[in-house]
């Protein structure tokens, strides 16, 4: 490249922003972000707040499964050691100066207040998934109409019992919705005594028994398993309960995205 040539503006890297952290957070050596190949993770600071960032190519396509996983990994691994205000996927600014001028400086007080509220807390996700055969047996045992429809379609050709099959399917679907509402409330109640806050999530699968995000003090993480033990034992064979975390506190903070 000659002295008069320069890199085209479109080819200059841009800065991808993952979330906000306290300014004293340090990035682990070798930590990387999204992209192929991924570039090193870094922090851009302004007074007592900072942004977790990495460079990406300006024309790089965003949104691959690998990118989404990398985004979540950066935030969740940070949340394990420090408060973090996560941004949704796809927050991009032109350079580090823009990160300060457009994000950190104008919203410093807002970010600092939210980080203070999260200090010493972590988010965990508690999910329940119905065991299909068990929940169907439960519905049939509890609902005489379901039993009647089940008998009506037994040994009949599919076309001959179409109306009954549709009616049974709708009845089962409505029964699952009603049970999910009750079971989700029970999940939230089970963790209420140890949680700073609980947020009920919408179901993402027809067999979901419930999903609740739990914000709790970091020193009470062990209490979460103990709080759920009675429910897990009661639901054995009916609902499979899983706990994941620590996670970035998506469910309990609202942060601005660049340009908002």
Dump pLDDT digits (tens) for 207-237: 999 999 999 998 899 999 999 999 999 999 9
Query: Do 53 and 13 share a structural domain?
Result: yes
Q: Is the pTM of this model over 0.85?
A: no
pLDDT recorded at residue 256: 55
Q: Which domain holds residue 133?
A: 122-247
Query: Do 159 and 42 share a structural domain?
Result: no
| 240: β partners | 129
Q: Is residue 83 part of a domain?
A: yes
Q: Is residue 260 part of a domain?
A: no
pLDDT recorded at residue 21: 95
Domain finish residue from 66, 97, 119: 119
pLDDT recorded at residue 176: 92
The CA distance from 176 to 207, in Å, is 8
Domain finish residue from 119, 144, 171: 119
Name the average pLDDT for the chain.
88
Looking at the structure of the chain, the number of domains it has is 2
pLDDT recorded at residue 1: 45
- Low-confidence spans in the chain with pLDDT less than 50: 1-4, 7-8
Q: Is residue 42 part of a domain?
A: yes
Query: Do 128 and 199 share a structural domain?
Result: yes
The CA distance from 103 to 93, in Å, is 9
Query: Do 165 and 145 share a structural domain?
Result: yes
The CA distance from 47 to 185, in Å, is 42
Query: Do 71 and 131 share a structural domain?
Result: no
Residue 37: phi and psi, rounded to 5, are -80, 155
Q: Is residue 181 part of a domain?
A: yes
pLDDT recorded at residue 166: 87
Long-range contacts of 254-260 (CB under 8 A, 24+ apart): 255/19, 255/20, 255/85, 255/86, 255/87, 255/111, 255/114, 256/103, 256/107, 256/110, 257/87, 257/88, 257/91, 258/17, 258/91, 258/92, 258/93, 258/98, 258/102, 258/103, 259/102
User: What residues have CB less than 8 Å from 117, skipping those under 6 apart?
Assistant: 253
User: What residues have CB less than 8 Å from 9, skipping those under 6 apart?
Assistant: none
Q: Is residue 224 part of a domain?
A: yes
Query: Do 72 and 142 share a structural domain?
Result: no
Query: Do 241 and 130 share a structural domain?
Result: yes
Q: Is residue 227 part of a domain?
A: yes
Domain finish residue from 69, 98, 119: 119
């Amino acid at each position: 490249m000659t002295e008069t040539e320069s890199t085209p503006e479109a080819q200059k890297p841009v800065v991808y922003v993952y979330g906000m952290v306290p300014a004293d957070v340090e990035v682990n050596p070798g930590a990387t972000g999204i992209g192929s190949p991924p570039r090193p993770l870094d922090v851009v600071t302004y007074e007592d707040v900072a942004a977790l960032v990495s460079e990406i190519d300006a024309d790089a396509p965003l949104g691959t499964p690998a990118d989404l996983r990398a985004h979540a990994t950066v935030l969740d691994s940070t949340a394990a050691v420090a408060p973090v205000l996560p941004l949704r996927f796809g927050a991009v600014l032109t350079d580090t100066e823009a990160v300060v001028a457009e994000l950190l400086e104008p919203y410093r007080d807002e970010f600092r207040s939210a980080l203070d509220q999260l200090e010493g807390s972590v988010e965990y996700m508690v999910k329940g998934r119905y065991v299909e055969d068990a929940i169907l047996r439960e519905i049939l045992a509890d609902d005489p109409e379901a039993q009647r429809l089940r008998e009506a379609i037994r040994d009949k050709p599919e076309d001959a019992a179409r109306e009954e099959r549709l009616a049974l399917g709708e009845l089962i679907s409505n029964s699952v919705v009603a049970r999910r509402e009750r079971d989700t409330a029970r999940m939230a109640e089970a963790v209420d005594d140890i949680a700073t806050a609980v947020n009920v999530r919408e179901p993402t699968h027809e067999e979901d028994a419930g999903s609740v995000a739990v914000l709790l003090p970091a020193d009470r993480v062990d209490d979460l398993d103990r709080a759920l033990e009675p429910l897990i034992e009661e639901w054995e064979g009916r609902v499979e309960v899983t706990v994941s975390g620590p996670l970035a506190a998506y469910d309990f903070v609202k942060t601005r995205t660049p340009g908002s």
